[in-house]
Amino acid sequence: DTGVSQDPRHKITKRGQNVTFRCDPISEHNRLYWYRQTLGQGPEFLTYFQNEAQLEKSRLLSDRFSAERPKGSFSTLEIQRTEQGDSAMYLCASSEEGGNTIYFGEGSWLTVV
């Protein structure tokens, strides 16, 4: 049984560029979550999916951020026109439907220069 997988693990990009992160959840989990974490802070909720439906979005998710889960399996998180303030670790997690415990991947580190 593989855990939550994220790719790429590290990304350095110039301000203004677009970046995309991919997440593959645990195979039997139909809920998928995106969080953002900066140094010294806990993970901040961005959005979550149940199957392919995006059920909840945080106010943190500005219009430069978009997440998709087209077939209810893997998900992508795209950040357009990156800003230095977007530098953070982007965490993906998954859970069973109705499950209250979520399991995280190792995260994707973004550095915007």
Query: Which structure tokens are listed for 29?
Result: 């989990």
Residue from 26, 105, 110, 112 touching other proteins (CB under 8 A): that is: 105
Nearest to 79 by CA among 38, 112, 39, 45: 112
Q: Which is nearer to other proteins, 7 or 80 (CB)?
A: 7
Q: Which is nearer to other proteins, 1 or 71 (CB)?
A: 1
Among the listed residues 2, 14, 28, 40, the single contact to other proteins using CB under 8 A: 40
- In the region spanning residues 57 to 96, those forming contacts with other proteins, defined by CB under 8 A, are 89, 91
